[in-house]
Chain A
Amino acid sequence: MIRSIIVSTLIVMACDFAQSTWFGAIAILGVIPDLGLIVLIWVSYQNGYVAGSSSGFLSGLAQDFISAAPIGFNAFIKTAVASAAGLLHGSFYIDRLLLPVALGAIGTIAKAIVAGLLFLVFGSKLHSYDVFDAPLWIEAAYNGLAAPVVFLLLTPLKRLLRAERGRE
Chain B
Amino acid sequence: MREQGRPERRGRRAVPPVLLAASLVCLVVSTRSLHGVPAAVGLTVLGFFQRGFAAVGDFVTDTIASISELKRLRENYHELAAKLDRYTNMERGMADLREENARLREQLGLSAEIGYQRIAARIVAKDPGNLYSTIIIDKGVGEGIRKNMPVIAFQDGIEGLVGKIVEVGQAVSMILPLYDSGSYAAARLSGGSRFEGLVGGQGSVDDPLIMKFVKKRAKEEVLFGDLVVTTGYESIYPPEVAIGRVREVIDPDFQTSIDLELEPILDFSRIEYVFVIKPTEIGPAKAAGE
Contacts and interface: CB of A to CB of B under 8 A. Distances in A.
A168 B11 CA distance: 10
Interface in B227-277: 269
Interface stretch (A17-25, A97-105, A154-162): A17-25
Contact of B181 (A69, A122, A127): A127
B134 interface: yes
B128 A30 contact: no
A13 B176 CA distance: 22
A24 B13 CA distance: 39
A16 B128 contact: yes
Contact of A72 (B23, B128, B203, B206): B23
Given A68-B132, A68-B133, A71-B38, A54 B204 contact: no
Nearest to B169: A65
Most buried by A among B22, B23, B54: B23
B130 A135 contact: yes
Nearest to A79: B19
A39 interface: no
B42 A62 contact: yes
Interface string A58-71: 00111111111111
B35 A70 contact: yes
B126 A79 contact: no
Interface string A31-71: 11010100000000000011001101100111111111111
A76 B39 CA distance: 16
Contacts of B42: 61-62, 64-66, 71
Contacts of A147: none
B127 interface: yes
A82 B24 CA distance: 16
Given A68-B134, A74-B129, A17 B53 contact: yes
Contacts of B43: 65-66
Contacts of B23: 57, 60-61, 72-73, 75-76, 79
A125 B27 CA distance: 10
Contacts of A32: 130
Contact of B206 (A29, A74, A168): A29
A30 B205 contact: yes
Interface string B10-30: 001101100110111111111
B19 A54 contact: yes
Given A21-B54, A66-B46, A127-B132, A72 B30 contact: yes
B136 A72 contact: no
A76 B131 contact: no
Contacts of A71: 26-27, 29-30, 35, 38-39, 42
B166 interface: yes
A20 B133 CA distance: 11
A126 interface: yes
A80 to B, nearest CB: 6
B211 interface: no
A126 B206 CA distance: 21
A7 to B, nearest CB: 16
B133 to A, nearest CB: 7
Contact of B50 (A17, A76, A115, A126): A17
A145 interface: no
B31 A70 contact: yes
22 contacts: A20-B127, A20-B128, A30-B269, A31-B130, A32-B130, A50-B12, A50-B16, A53-B20, A57-B19, A64-B26, A64-B30, A65-B46, A66-B174, A68-B132, A68-B134, A68-B167, A71-B29, A71-B42, A73-B23, A73-B27, A75-B27, A139-B130
Given A67-B128, A127-B203, 7 more contacts: A16-B128, A20-B50, A21-B53, A60-B23, A66-B128, A67-B132, A76-B23
Interface of A: 13-14, 16-22, 24, 29-32, 34, 36, 49-50, 53-54, 56-57, 60-76, 79-80, 82-83, 86, 115, 118, 122, 124-129, 135, 139, 167-168
Top 9 A-B pairs, shortest CB-CB distance: A65-B42, A72-B26, A72-B27, A76-B23, A70-B30, A53-B16, A75-B23, A71-B30, A20-B125
